[in-house]
Structure 1
Amino acid sequence: MSSDPITVHLIGDSTAAEKAPDERPETGWGTPFAERFDDSVTVENHARNGRSTRTFLEEGRWDPVVDSLAEGHYVFVQFGHNDEVPSKEQYTPESAFVANLERFVAETRERGATPVLLTSIARRHFDDAGDPEDTHREYADLTRDVARAHDVPLIDADERSRALLADLGPEESKALYNHLSPGDHPNYPDGVTDDTHFSERGARRMAELILDGVERLDLGLAARVDRDGR
């Protein structure tokens, strides 16, 4: 088995991003994801809080990623949380969202690297019957459409995470998200109820869902997962 070095670039929003010390224990899934590979894999996490496909491009954050790409690299693309909300300044209309995903895919391939599209991980919203709501339906469908149209590997993190929420239920699933009572942590003295961002435990569970997607796609990267790191 080849042990040539591999670089994986993550681009996306706060759900994947590295967190500053004053944001802890909130944790992006990119952190435990990076820890699960052997030494031949380097994960470069370019995801940033509050970004959409549009603002990530407008701020020039994509340019250094493209400039560093080479054959054998991967680019994992997960956006939607901020793109899909019309009331947010980061809002990206559907047609522009599709065009931006297509740009990430095309420019990645032009440099011999492999793009992987991910739908957004589900928010922890349950309906009155106790079933997880499909909070990303429209933009998750757009991501799926781009993956099909351009034959791009897709990890359906939205579908996978909603299945996990359904299995855990409304109460047990709180432990996966940034839910803290007053006094639990000095960064959140008044407590916090956040059903979008993850606890450390939740980030690990979400990273496992994505790693399982890597294996199911039979990406070459799958052979580099360190199973002893579970």
Structure 2
Amino acid sequence: MVRAALLAALAFGTLAASASETPLQVFMAGDSTMSIKLEKDYPETGWGVPFSIFFDEQVSVHNFAKNGRSTRTFREEGLWQQIMDGVKSDDFVFIQFGHNDQSEHKKDRYTPPEAYKYNLRRFISEARSRGARPILMTPVTRRYFTTKGVIEPTHRGYDDLVREVAQAEQVPFIDMEKVTRHYFTAMGDEASKLRFMHIAPDLHPNYPIGVTDDTHFNHLGAREVAQLVLRELKAMQHPLAQRLRTPDPKHLQR
């Protein structure tokens, strides 16, 4: 019996090692809250940037998210097609839009609610048709505190549309609007401000007159949001949570 248990353990270890050595791609479709930034925009950082280094050497992360893009313009500009051209069976595709889709006053990106839902469903269907595994996400929160000291929802129902699509399509889903809103609310106004693009005048050459931006993250905010995404993946026992990089032994001794 002991021998059988030992053989089973060895077999499991072999399978786990084999899985970790399998090349895998992760594609990211989204907007500025996820995207890679130009140097002129630093310290603004999308959460997809720190997220990309969480995984083992056999996992390649391709961040196609881009500033100002909605579900409509992401497809119109060919960004989604680039993902479809590169994706393979068993790869993962993160899908997170909403900030720009809801911007009715910006006609270059606005997407009406029903079109938004249709676009999300189409992304999911096309990813699945290639054997890929989509992960749907609500847009991250904006940092708008009420007089009661809580962050108010600002997505005008577009987050609810994502929840509806996730339920209808039975797709792996992370409710990042709720996760980040609760996280930054618990942190409070002043501490959460340090995670967003708040820079006083004459402190940073990219922003000589300063900036007050409660939508976009700085380096710290992006890293913490990426960590929240990873926490949710672990909680749902998602396969990606089994593909994390091996920590440096020195870090374990601290």
Check whether TM > 0.5: yes
Q: Structure 1 163/227 Cα, relative in aligned 2: closer, same or farther at 3 Å?
A: farther
TM-score, scaled relative to structure 2: 0.88
1:111 to 127, 130, 136: 130
Kept in 2, the 8 Å contact 1:10–1:76? The answer is yes
Query: What are the Cα deviations for residues 86-140 of structure 1, in whole angstroms up to 9, with x where unaligned?
Result: 1112110000000000010000000000000011110000111111101125111
Kept after mapping to 2: 8 A contact 1:36/1:227: no
Unaligned segments of structure 2, at least 5 residues:
1-15
One-letter code aligned to 2:203: D
2:166 alignment partner AA:
A
Q: 1:92 maps to what in 2?
A: 111
1:140 aligns with 2:159: yes
Aligned equivalents of 1:74, 1:177: Cα separation in 2? 28
Which residue number in structure 2 is paired with residue 175 of structure 1? 194
- The residue type equivalent to 1:214 in the other structure is L
Say what the alpha-carbon RMSD is for the aligned residues: 1.3
When structure 1 is superposed on structure 2, of 59-68 and 15-24 the one drifting more is 59-68
Post-superposition, which runs of at least 4 consecutive aligned residues in structure 1 deviate over 4 A? none
| 1:52 aligns with one of 41, 61, 70 | 70
Letter in 2 for 1:66: M
Q: Which one has the largest radius of gyration?
A: 2
Partners of 2:182 and 2:140 in 1: how far apart?
11
The percentage of counterpart residues that share the same residue type is: 47
1:76 aligned to 2:114? no
Residue 236 (structure 2) pairs with residue 217 (structure 1): yes
Residues in 2 aligned to 1:117 and 1:40: alpha-carbon distance in whole angstroms: 23
Is the CA contact 1:125–1:132 (under 8 Å) kept in the aligned structure 2? yes
- Per the alignment, residue 161 of structure 1 pairs with 180
**Displacement after TM superposition at 1:183 (Å):** 1.8
Aligned residue number for residue 35 of structure 2? 17
Q: How many residues align?
A: 230
**Structure 1 contact 26–197 (Cα < 8 Å) conserved:** yes
Contact 2:57 2:245 in 1 (8 A): no
Aligned amino acid, residue 120 of structure 1:
P
Establish whether residue 42 from structure 1 lines up as the match of residue 60 from structure 2. Answer: yes
Give SS of 2:188's match: helix
For structure 1, the residue ranges without an aligned partner over 5 or more in a row are: none
Q: Distance in 1 between matches of 2:60 and 2:233?
A: 16
TM-score, length-scaled by structure 1: 0.97
The one-letter amino acid of 1:69's match is V
